[in-house]
């Protein structure tokens, strides 16, 4: 890999990783602990991820159970879940909090697939923008006494890299869509 293309590959990888994490938070009718990844609980004045203040388990396919290490955190965890965009009301028995995920309707599944595809497109746009930035930088290199053949070769490598990431995004979106549509 040419060192001049390294920053663009890293940027594309970051865009891909972000999309992958983003898609993991979309629930597909099954309980997935990743839906809690973005939630923070006020823990002694510090916003802390839920996974760091309690034990998060999936005892059944549609239930997430959170057992806080300190019983005083139950109210704070409930509040964080209720103010989030998860759309599920927590229940607690004084010791653990349970999130029961309802079955998704066919219409809701289709909406989620549309959302996944939209996020995939946004990911592809980010990859293409990185390619454009790379091509602009390569054009500036052309003025700095680098041969046209070398510039062409770098542009081709950048395009191949772009194609690879776009193909990976398509695969990711397809897998997530299949997961959502599987009843």
Give every CB contact of residue 133 below 8 A, 6+ residues apart in sequence: 8, 11
Reading the block at residue 66, the tokens are 């959170």
CATH class of the 33-100 domain in this structure: alpha beta
Beta strands in 44-183 (DSSP E): 46-49, 54-60, 63-68, 91-92, 97-100
How far is the C-alpha of 42 from the C-alpha of 93, rounded, in Å? 21
pLDDT one digit per residue (tens) for the chain, 183 residues? 678 889 999 999 999 999 998 888 776 667 777 778 788 888 888 888 888 888 888 888 888 898 988 888 888 888 888 887 777 788 888 888 888 887 878 888 888 899 999 999 999 999 999 999 999 988 887 777 778 888 888 889 999 999 999 999 999 999 989 888 876
Q: Is 156 left (phi over 0), alpha (psi -120 to 50) or beta?
A: alpha
pTM as predicted = 0.72
Backbone angles phi, psi at 64, to 5 degrees: -110, 135
- Give residue limits of the domains in the chain: 6-24+105-181, 33-100
Q: Do domains 6-24+105-181 and 33-100 have the same CATH topology?
A: no
pLDDT the model gives residue 164: 94
CATH class of the 6-24+105-181 domain in this structure: mainly alpha
């Amino acid at each position: 890999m040419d060192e001049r293309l390294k920053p663009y590959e890293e940027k594309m990888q970051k865009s891909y990783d972000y999309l992958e994490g983003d898609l993991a938070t979309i629930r597909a009718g099954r309980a997935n602990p990743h839906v809690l990844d973005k939630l923070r609980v006020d823990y002694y004045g510090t916003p802390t991820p839920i996974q760091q203040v309690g034990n998060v388990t999936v005892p059944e396919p549609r239930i997430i159970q959170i057992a806080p290490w300190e019983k005083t955190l139950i109210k704070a965890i409930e509040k964080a879940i209720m103010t989030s965009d998860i759309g599920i009301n927590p229940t607690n028995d004084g010791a653990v909090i349970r999130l029961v995920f309802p079955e998704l309707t066919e219409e809701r599944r289709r909406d989620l697939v549309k959302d996944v595809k939209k996020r995939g497109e946004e990911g592809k746009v980010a990859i293409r923008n990185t390619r454009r930035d790379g091509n602009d930088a390569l054009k500036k290199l052309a003025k700095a006494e680098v041969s046209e053949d070398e510039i062409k070769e770098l542009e081709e490598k950048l395009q191949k890299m772009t194609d690879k990431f776009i193909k990976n995004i398509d695969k990711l979106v397809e897998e997530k869509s299949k997961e959502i549509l599987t009843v």
